[in-house]
Chains A and B, each alone.
Chain A
Amino acid sequence: MVDVTPHGADLIPPAEVGEMELYHPHSWWTKYVFAQDAKVIAIQYSGTALAIGLVALVLSWLMRLQLGFPGTFDFITPEAYYQFMTMHGMIMVIYLLTALFLGGFGNYLIPLMVGARDMVFPYVNMLSYWIYLLAVLVLVASFFAPGGPTGAGWTLYPPQAILSGTPGGTGPGIILMLVSLILFIIGFTMGGLNYVVTVLQARTRGMTLMRLPLTVWGIFTATVMALLAFPALFVACVMMLFDRAIGSSFFMPAIVEMGEQSPHNGGSPIMFQHLFWFFGHPEVYIVALPAFGIVSDLISTHARKNIFGYRMMVWAIVGIGALSFVVWAHHMYVSGMHPYFGFFFATTTLIIAVPTAIKVYNWVLTLWRGDIHLTIPMLFALAFIVTFVNGGLTGLFLGNVVVDVPLSDTMFVVAHFHMVMGVAPILVVFGAIYHWYPKISGRMLNEFMGRFHFWVTFIGAYLIFFPMHYVGLVGVPRRYPELGDTAFIPPSVHTLNEFITVAALTVGFAQLVFLFNLFWSIRHGKKAGDNPWRATTLEWQTAGTPPPHGNFGKELPVVYRWAYDYSVPGAPEDFIAQNDPRPSTQGGHA
Chain B
Amino acid sequence: MAIALVLVLVVIGSVLFHVLSPWWWTPIASNWGYIDSTLVATFWITGAVFSAVVLFMAYCVYRFRHKEGQKAAYEPESKKLESWLTAITAIGVAAMLAPGLYVWKQFVTVPKDATEVEVVAQQWQWSFRLPGADGKLGTSNARLVSSDNPLGINPDDPNGKDDVVVEAADLHLPIDKPVKMLLRSIDVLHDFYVPEFRAKMDMVPGMVTYFWFTPTRTGTFEVLCAELCGTGHGFMRGIVMVDTAQDYTTWLQQQSTFAQLSGPAKVGVLVDRGKVTASME
**Chain A interface (Cβ within 8 Å of chain B)?**
4, 78-79, 82, 151-153, 155, 157, 159-160, 163, 165-167, 169, 253-259, 261, 266-270, 303-306, 308-312, 334-336, 339-340, 342-343, 346-347, 350-351, 353-354, 357-358, 360-362, 364-365, 367-374, 379, 382, 385-386, 389-390, 393-394, 396-397, 400-403, 405-410, 458-459, 462, 466-467, 470-471, 473-475, 477, 479-484, 486-488, 490, 492-493, 496, 564, 566-569, 574, 588-590
| Across-interface contacts of A266 in B (CB, < 8 A) | 206
B14 proximal to A (CB < 8 A): yes
A393 lies within 8 A of B75 (CB): no
List of A residues within 8 angstroms of B195 by Cβ: 406, 474-475, 488
| Given A259-B147, A336-B201, A470-B17, 5 new contacts (CB under 8 A) | A157-B227, A367-B57, A370-B64, A405-B35, A410-B226
Asked if B231 and A166 sit within 8 Å, CB to CB, the answer is: yes
Dominant secondary structure of chain B at its interface with chain A: mixed
Partner of B200, one of A346, A408, A590: A408
Q: Which of B21, B57, B70, B104 contacts A364 (CB 8 A)?
A: B57
Supply 17 A–B pairs (Cβ within 8 Å), ascending by A: A256-B142, A257-B187, A305-B74, A334-B201, A334-B226, A336-B203, A336-B204, A367-B57, A371-B71, A372-B66, A374-B66, A386-B54, A406-B200, A409-B191, A480-B233, A483-B234, A588-B74
Residue count of chain B within 8 Å CB distance of chain A: 100
B77:A311 contact, CB within 8 angstroms: yes
Q: Which of B84-92, B171-179, B240-248, B257-265 sits within the interface? A: B84-92
Nearest-neighbour CB distance to chain A for B244, whole angstroms, equals 20
- Chain A residues with Cβ under 8 A from B46's Cβ? 393-394, 396-397
Most A CB within 10 A of own CB, among B75, B142, B228: B228
Contact of A309 among B77, B100, B205 (CB under 8 A): B77
- Contact, CB under 8 Å: B39 / A406: yes
A-B pairs with the 10 shortest C-beta distances? Answer: A253-B206, A475-B195, A165-B230, A336-B209, A160-B188, A470-B23, A393-B46, A369-B73, A305-B72, A367-B60
Closest to B227 in A: A409
A574 partner residues in chain B, CB cutoff 8 A: 71-72
* A374 neighbours in B (Cβ, 8 Å): 1, 3, 61, 65-66
Task: Identify which of A397, A403, A459 gathers the most chain B CB atoms within 10 Å of its CB.
Answer: A403
Q: How far is the CB of A563 from chain B (nearest CB, A)?
A: 12
- CB <8 Å contact, B42 and A361: no
Please provide the chain B residues from 20 to 38 with a CB less than 8 Å away from any CB of chain A in the complex.
21-26, 32, 34-35, 38
- Inter-subunit contact A159/B25 (CB<8 Å): no
Partner of B198, one of A267, A400, A406, A589: A406
User: In the complex, A246→B6 CA distance in Å?
Assistant: 57
Residues of chain B with a CB closer than 8 A to A373's CB:
66
Find the residue from B46, B78, B227 having the highest chain A CB count within 10 A. Answer: B227
Contact of B97 among A166, A305, A400 (CB under 8 A): A400
From A353, A364, A400, A408, residue with most partner B Cβ within 10 Å: A400
Q: Are A403 and B21 neighbours in the complex by a CB distance under 8 Å?
A: no
| Nearest opposing residue in chain A for B73, CB measure | A369
- A259 to B76, alpha carbons, bound, how many Å? 67
- Which A residue's beta carbon lies closest to that of B203? A336
CB <8 Å contact, B206 and A269: yes
> B24–A470 contact, CB under 8 A?
yes
With A79-B231, A269-B204, A589-B75 as known contacts, state yes or no: A405 contacts B61, CB within 8 Å: no
- A473–B26 Cα distance when bound, in Å, is 8
Q: How far is the CB of B98 from chain A (nearest CB, A)?
A: 10
CA distance A406 to B199 in the complex (A): 6
Residues from chain A with Cβ under 8 Å of B112 in the complex:
none
B224 engages A477 (CB within 8 Å)? yes
B57 touches A382 (CB 8 A): yes
Q: How far is the CA of A190 from the CA of B54 in the complex (A)?
A: 40
CA distance A168 to B140 in the complex (A): 31
A4 close to B89 (CB less than 8 A): no
What residue in chain A is nearest B49 (Cβ atoms)?
Answer: A393
Are A165 and B188 in contact (CB-based, < 8 A)? yes
**Which of the residues B23, B143, B186, B205 comes within 8 Å of A473, measured between beta carbons?**
B23
Minimum Cβ distance to chain A for residue B189 (Å): 6
Expressed in whole angstroms, the Cα–Cα distance for A350 and B89 within the complex equals 11
A400–B60 touching, CB < 8 Å: no
Let me know if A157 and B74 touch, CB within 8 A: no
The reply to whether B64 and A369 contact each other, CB–CB distance below 8 Å, is yes
Contact among B107, B152, B186, B234 with A480 in the assembled complex (CB-CB below 8 Å): B234
**Which residue of the partner chain A has the closest CB to B198?**
A406
B122 at the interface (CB under 8 A from A): yes
Contact yes or no, A402 B107, CB < 8 A? yes
Q: Is the CB of B209 within 8 A of A351?
A: no
> B96 near A: Cβ within 8 Å?
yes
B267 contacts A by Cβ under 8 Å: no
CA distance A379 to B34 in the complex (A): 41
Q: How far is the CA of A486 from the CA of B236 in the complex (A)?
A: 12
Is B252 located at the chain interface by the 8 A CB criterion? no
In the assembled complex, which residues on chain B have CB atoms less than 8 Å from the CB atom of A303? Answer: 64, 72
- List the A side residues contacting B96 at CB < 8 Å: 350, 396, 400
The 8 A CB mask of B127-150 against A (1 = contact, 0 = none) is 000000000000001110101000
Residues of B within 8 A of A350 (CB): 93, 96-97
Tell me if B108 counts as interface (CB < 8 A to partner A): yes
Q: How far is the CA of A435 from the CA of B155 in the complex (A)?
A: 71
Question: Is the pair A473, B75 in contact by a Cβ cutoff of 8 Å?
Answer: no
Closest residue of chain B to A406 (Cβ to Cβ) is: B198
